[in-house]
Amino acid sequence: MSPSIRSPSSHAAVKDRTESKVDLPDSEWDMPREILLVEDSQGDIRLIREALREIGGGHVLHVVNDGVEALAFLRRKGAYAAAPRPDLILLDLNLPRKNGREVLAEIKADERLRDIPVVVLTISTAEEDIMTAYRLQANCYVIKPVNLDQFFRVVQSIERYWLSRECGQEGADDAA
């Protein structure tokens, strides 16, 4: 299976989603970004961590293993009281305790969290999951490839698009 980034059929819907890309002043683009990975597969966590390490950039990866933990982290509750606000959320759909769809709905309904870009990173190729994710205002839907090299390329593409200076500046220039 080749890597696949799925978007809704409407071009306007894609444009609306990309406008919430990380928008930072020039001086902050060189700083590492905070990434929240919501994933229960230890193998996928290791792969994502390694792909980000290869990219460099010093991004800080925070990992939670279920939807309840994700919301506690984002709302800085309990053990996550000192958690940083992430610049990007990588969200699996198939999670224990509270699934990714529920987490996405709560993030986008929360005025304090809704502007954080959420990339759904999942194995599901079901059209219903894709459309539901976009209906819930996911910024991007990415199907996890099974091939190791493709998996690394997908993670690196996500980083380049959502967190790198060049792409972020282009997005900011386009929105102006």
Residue 162 parent element (H or E): helix 148-163
Q: How confident is the model at residue 165 (pLDDT cuts 50, 70, 90)?
A: low
Give the pLDDT confidence of 54-110 residue by residue, as tens digits: 887 788 999 999 999 999 999 999 999 999 999 999 999 999 999 999 999 999 999
Q: Which CATH number is associated with domain 32-175?
A: 3.40.50.2300
In the chain the beta strands, taken as DSSP E runs, fall at: 4-6, 34-38, 60-64, 88-91, 118-122, 140-143
33 — pLDDT class (breaks 50, 70, 90) = confident
pTM score of the predicted model? 0.78
Q: Where are the domains of the chain?
A: 32-175
pLDDT at position 3 is 44
Confidence check: pLDDT of 155 > 60: yes
Q: Which tens digits make up the pLDDT trace of 122-147?
A: 999 999 999 999 999 999 999 998 88
**Top-confidence residue, 33 or 140:** 140
Residue 171 in tokens: 């997005």
Tokens matching residue 59 = 């991004």
